[in-house]
Structure 1
Amino acid sequence: MPFPSKPLERDRPWVMRTYAGHSSPAESNALYRRNLAKGQTGLSVAFDLPTQTGYDPDDELAVGEVGKVGVPVTHIGDMRALFDGIPLDEMNTSMTINATAMWLLALYQAVAIEQAEGTGADPDEVLRGLAGTTQNDIIKEYLSRGTYVFPPAPSMRLITDMVAYTVTAMPKWNPINICSYHLQEAGATPEQEIAYAISTAIAVLDSVRDSGQVPQEKFGEVVARISFFVNAGVRFVEEMCKMRAFTQLWDELTKERYGVEDPKHRRFRYGVQVNSWA
């Protein structure tokens, strides 16, 4: 095969970010700024367990867990400190947060608006330009992880409202990252991982559709913002087959069940992490 006559156009570089957060918002902010200065191009925020489950750091049930597996963020002052000196309109931020995702995203938005007002930028335009992801998968919290706060029905209502809101107000934001990763960590086979993850996606998309908050002509934009967090275990061939099946099933499901005609809206968008138990 002959070489092309001119160099191929390069794709946009991947966002490079490190999952990080610890001890306090100020210490985490210092870590983020050091990493960004070294060439990191995005942020991935780890929150501590009290934040994930809705407890204040001074609650007796939070004793011993504050700042241990992530950063504690309980009010807007914490969020300001966490992103001090980091322009959010230029950032791509992933937040690993589920049961309290709506509140953490609201705090993130509030800080972004404050930053916009300080520079004279249009706050609405800043919100529309915010890029990033909230994990926001409450179903896997019941199936495999356990940091849920509310019963299933109210939890699904929060996720539904958040997905519907972001499609209009924050069109570059990924409002949910459906997590098949945790299922395999909890003992699922690759086949079961696909089955439960697709079922979760159907539950969320059906809920958004049936809520009536998004017109049918815009539903493709909802589907286009759904992303997945996939496990990669040691069963090499089986894992390759899993991903081929995952992408094909997603394409068929979104076209046939939800009537999404644009192939770009039906793309299977995912991140992958290697299996820890294996």
Structure 2
Amino acid sequence: MSHAHPTASKDRPWLIRTYAGHSTAAASNALYRSNLEKGQTGLSVAFDLPTQTGYDSDHVLSRGEVGKVGVPVCHLGDMRALFKDIPLEQMNTSMTINATAPWLLSLYIAVAEEQGADVSALQGTVQNDLIKEYLSRGTYVCPPAPSLKMIGDVAEYC
């Protein structure tokens, strides 16, 4: 005797992202594209310490830290290289970043616009917890009042 079972609709597959970034934007891009080819369904960007604290890679305080614990992104060209041949409109991207979140999000959006993406279709997360950097890590860029303003601005824009 067979039992009829209603056809259950499949749940949407889980988003699979690997927290990654290293050495250079180009090398990180190669890693991202390789991971996507292997079935990863989103991106989670790890930025290096100079990028996390708002220093360019050539700043004296960046010595010995560039590309060490994540990918260095100093300007729009780096963000372009990081996402070369990756259609951002089709991605779900997490950017694990706080102090420089508003700036890096703006670079991400600029690259998506250059790709012809509908910015309203972009998906992902940005930490945007600028106050945590002030209170806990000491890696803040701005004091609390302007940080709170930027947190609100990012939330309102998104």
Range into which the TM-score falls when normalised by the shorter chain? over 0.9
The two structures have a TM-score, normalised by structure 2, of: 0.94
Question: How many residues are paired up?
Answer: 156
Which of 153, 161, 169 is 2:153 aligned to? 161
Taking only aligned residues, the RMSD between alpha carbons, in angstroms, comes to 1.3
**In the alignment, is residue 150 of structure 1 matched against residue 142 of structure 2?**
yes
User: Using CA pairs below 8 Å that are at least 6 residues apart, which structure has the higher relative contact order?
Assistant: 2
Give the structure 1 partner of residue 62 of structure 2.
62
Give the structure 2 partner of residue 5 of structure 1.
5
Which amino acid in structure 2 is aligned with residue 113 of structure 1? E
Q: For residues 197-231 of structure 1, what are the alpha-carbon distances to aligned partners after superposition, in whole Å with 9 as ceiling and x for unaligned?
A: xxxxxxxxxxxxxxxxxxxxxxxxxxxxxxxxxxx
Which amino acid in structure 1 is aligned with residue 46 of structure 2? A
Q: For residues 67-105 of structure 1, what are the alpha-carbon distances to aligned partners after superposition, in whole Å with 9 as ceiling and x for unaligned?
A: 011000010100000000000010000001111111101
Give the structure 1 partner of residue 122 of structure 2.
130
Q: Distance in 2 between matches of 1:29 and 1:78?
A: 10
Which amino acid in structure 2 is aligned with residue 148 of structure 1? Y
Q: Distance in 1 between matches of 2:144 and 2:132?
A: 11
Listed as ranges, the matches of 1:75-224 within 5 Å are: 75-116=75-116, 126-166=118-158
Q: Distance in 2 between matches of 1:143 and 1:4?
A: 59
**In the alignment, is residue 52 of structure 1 matched against residue 52 of structure 2?**
yes
Checking the alignment, whether the CA contact within 8 Å between 2:79 and 2:108 is kept in structure 1 is yes
Which amino acid in structure 2 is aligned with residue 131 of structure 1? Q
Q: Distance in 1 between matches of 2:67 and 2:4?
A: 53
The two structures have a TM-score, normalised by structure 1, of: 0.54
Matched residue SS, 2:41: coil
Distance 1:63 1:12, change over 3 A: same
Q: Distance in 2 between matches of 1:38 and 1:4?
A: 37
Following superposition, which runs of at least 4 residues in structure 1 exceed 6 angstroms of deviation?
Answer: none
Distance 1:159 1:5, change over 3 A: same
Please report how far the alpha carbon of residue 8 of structure 1 lies from its aligned counterpart in structure 2 after TM superposition: 1.9
Matched residue SS, 1:156: helix
Give the structure 2 partner of residue 19 of structure 1.
19
Which amino acid in structure 1 is aligned with residue 74 of structure 2? T
Checking the alignment, whether the CA contact within 8 Å between 2:134 and 2:143 is kept in structure 1 is no
Q: For residues 113-163 of structure 1, what are the alpha-carbon distances to aligned partners after superposition, in whole Å with 9 as ceiling and x for unaligned?
A: 1111xxxxxx5xx10000011011122223333321110111111111111
Please report how far the alpha carbon of residue 25 of structure 1 lies from its aligned counterpart in structure 2 after TM superposition: 0.2
Which amino acid in structure 2 is aligned with residue 100 of structure 1? T
Q: Distance in 2 between matches of 1:141 and 1:82?
A: 25
Give the structure 2 partner of residue 179 of structure 1.
none
Give the structure 2 partner of residue 242 of structure 1.
none
More helix by share: 1
Give the structure 1 partner of residue 39 of structure 2.
39
Q: For residues 246-267 of structure 1, what are the alpha-carbon distances to aligned partners after superposition, in whole Å with 9 as ceiling and x for unaligned?
A: xxxxxxxxxxxxxxxxxxxxxx
Rg comparison, structure with higher value: 1
Gaps of 5+ in 2: none
Q: Distance in 1 between matches of 2:131 and 2:61?
A: 24
Identity of aligned residues (%): 69
Of stretches 3-12 and 18-27 in structure 1, the one that deviates more from structure 2 is 3-12
Matched residue SS, 1:107: helix
